[in-house]
Amino acid sequence: MKISRGARALGAAALAVVVPLVSATAAVPAAANPVISSIAPDPSVQRGADGAFHVYASSDDWSDGAGYRLVPHFRSFDLVEWEYVGDAFGSRPSWAPSGSYLWAPDVHVADAGAVMYYTTGGPAPCIGMATAPGIEGPWTHGGAPIVCYGADAPYRDLDPMDPEVVFTADGPVMFMGNFEGIHAVRMNPAGTALIGDPVLVAGTGVEAPAIVSREGRTHLFTSAGLCCNGEQSQYRVLGGRADDVMGPYSDRQQRPLVQGPGSPLPGDVILKGDADWVGPGHVDVTTDDAGQDWMLYHAAPRGSAVLPNGVQRRYMMLDRLDWVGGWPVVGDGTPSSTRSADPVVSLPVRLTAVGGAVLRPDRDGQVLDASVRMDSTGSAYSGDLRAALTGPDKRRVALPVLVDGQALPSVPQAVGAGATVTRALTLRPAAPMAPGRYELVVSVGDAGGPARELAVFGLEVAPDGSLSMGSGALGSAPLGSLGG
């Protein structure tokens, strides 16, 4: 999680009153990468019924004392500013092998709700699935795995890791593989079991398949190299395409992705590391409201690639994905630190954090002072502002808003057509904030309805009780270490 782009742009002033600003809404400058500076590897993205984009990522320890995050869940209304919602799961599935963990989630919205496929990892990995009423959760593990290492024929030779399921007119197809060859296997109509014979679509040396259909062809993205060996990581994104989802796949040089023994690793290099970023890879793709594709992936900052606990700082990145001559192109082929433009997403209103937050004592304990700016996106808007705080214990707690001595669950706020309003909020934590990193989220939604937009503050409470702001939160990065 990171301090909002608006907070960086507007400085540290915390306003104490509602201040009308200019009557015209200024263009929002493009934000910098990463868009999530908590550990968010192997992102899988889907848009929910609430209009928000939801990302689920691989489990990891963020080195903040909160322990292992079990498939962390993030949410954004604009693909740029993200909040940590919580973990998808409180425990591993009952059938998971001892010592396993959950990684490489693959999420989908279905007619009956949502489905997630994942890998349990370990020496005998399995692919499992979970279901939820919607992409927002809550998630329930299936009672048995879909496939495990060493399964009976014809699946004995599969590498059951890094699942990617594609829903086609002929039924779902599961892609899987983690450096031992990527296979595609047809599934039953419900997507709960494998029923077809495995088809090898890419050879050894690659993992993390991702499928995108564009312009009548199916594109297969994979990742090569090691993701997590610090500054030495050569992780990179490769690509190829086929006329059919089951292949055969080849790159621009017409090299088959199923290479022969001893052949160089085929695949077009879509993304690789540079002087600023280490090991970009494990991608997913989403589309904004203007029809533009965007690639989500993880990468680590060069010079600070590893957390104190040894975990790779795999932050989530966002870059524009174009199709040139029918082939995928991402910028100059390296991660951007600053985009020339951000995704176009239709929002009823835009909410931005203004400056820093202030933690101060009062007669009943502590209060947080923070300010947000509401920008009209064309029409007048009226809604409710709410606040929530997530701290080192991973618990997400609603914060009452203090108005004339009363603690209210929300406060109304309106903005006129083409106008901007800044609102100062005084928030009441339920208990004194212990030392550690926090994420403060202020959201706005229709009166009595769900959130429609949000603003995020990254905070750190020092042992002496003082509060500082930063671009990293909840253990991801040294505060202030990221220029973005």
Instruction: Give me the pLDDT at residue 98, please.
Output: 77
Specify whether the CB–CB gap between 199 and 208 falls below 8 A. no
Mean model confidence pLDDT for the chain = 88
469 band by pLDDT with thresholds 50, 70 and 90: low
Instruction: Give me the pLDDT at residue 65, please.
Output: 80
Residue 343: cis peptide before it, omega within 30 degrees of 0: no
Instruction: Give me the pLDDT at residue 39, please.
Output: 94
Instruction: Give me the pLDDT at residue 259, please.
Output: 85
63 band by pLDDT with thresholds 50, 70 and 90: confident
Instruction: Give me the pLDDT at residue 20, please.
Output: 27
pTM metric for this prediction? 0.91
Maximum distance among all alpha carbons in the chain? 75
Specify whether the CB–CB gap between 257 and 232 falls below 8 A. no
Tokens found for residue 459: 């905070």
Specify whether the CB–CB gap between 212 and 245 falls below 8 A. no
* DSSP codes, 274-296: -SSEEEEEEEEEEE-TTS-EEEE
pLDDT in tens, 363-402: 878 899 999 999 999 999 999 999 999 988 888 999 999 9
At 74 the three-state DSSP class reads strand
pLDDT in tens, 85-106: 999 999 999 999 877 889 999 9
Instruction: Give me the pLDDT at residue 15, please.
Output: 25
Specify whether the CB–CB gap between 399 and 359 falls below 8 A. no
pLDDT in tens, 184-219: 999 999 999 999 999 999 999 999 999 999 999 999
Instruction: Give me the pLDDT at residue 12, please.
Output: 27
**Does residue 476 have a pLDDT over 90?**
no
| Residues 6 or more apart whose Cβ sits within 8 Å of residue 397 | 388, 389, 390, 391, 429, 430
**Does residue 414 have a pLDDT over 90?**
yes
pLDDT in tens, 6-37: 332 322 222 222 222 222 233 345 678 999 98
**Does residue 293 have a pLDDT over 50?**
yes
| Residues 6 or more apart whose Cβ sits within 8 Å of residue 49 | 134, 135
pLDDT in tens, 423-445: 999 999 988 888 888 999 999 99
CB burial of residue 171 (10 Å; 0-12, 13-18, 19+):
middle
Instruction: Give me the pLDDT at residue 121, please.
Output: 82
E strands, 377-410, where? 381-390, 396-399, 401-403, 406-408
pLDDT in tens, 209-265: 999 999 999 999 999 999 999 999 999 999 999 999 999 999 999 999 998 666 789
Q: What is the dihedral of CA 399, 403, 406, 407, to 10 degrees?
A: -10
Instruction: Give me the pLDDT at residue 30, please.
Output: 63
Tokens found for residue 462: 């020092």
Between residues 218 and 67, the one the model is more confident about: 218
Q: Report how far residue 271's alpha carbon sits from residue 278's, in angstroms, rounded to the nearest whole number.
A: 11
Specify whether the CB–CB gap between 55 and 72 falls below 8 A. no
